[in-house]
Amino acid sequence: MNTRKYYSVTEVCRKLGIKPHVLRYWEQQFELKPTRNSARRRIYTGAQLERLQLIKHLVRTEKLTVAGARRQLTKMSANPTPIAPPGDHRHILPWLKKELLSIRALIEDADR
């Protein structure tokens, strides 16, 4: 388990595989408020890093628009799941199951 408390812009960008301008854009669009260190540089908490990983997943993997990703985050925060250790994706399984059942219903309706 990682015990670090804060991550720099460079570290976050490296971990997520994104450019700093993308990080700044996501900060604005998803209302992330990184704190600043004594040198006035932006630093991120572990929780913010996890949220950014989820945003990246929604935007890059799920191919949601920024507005769609915001809506999905709102849905997920309205129905929170237990927090799992980093790298453990079991926390998204209830949401994923619900989404898959919705897709299944759509397919079955289309077949009728």
Query: What's the pLDDT tens digit per position in 30-74?
Result: 999 999 999 999 999 999 999 999 999 999 988 999 999 999 988
Q: Give the CA count within 13 Å in the CB-facing half-sphere of 83.
A: 7
Which of the given ranges, 21-35, 60-74, 79-93, has the highest pLDDT on average? 21-35
| The model scores a pTM over 0.75 | no
Domain 1-80 sits in CATH at: 1.10.1660.10
Residue type, 102: S
Buried b (16+ CB within 10 A) or exposed e, 48-77: bbebbebbbebbeeeebeeeebbebbeeee
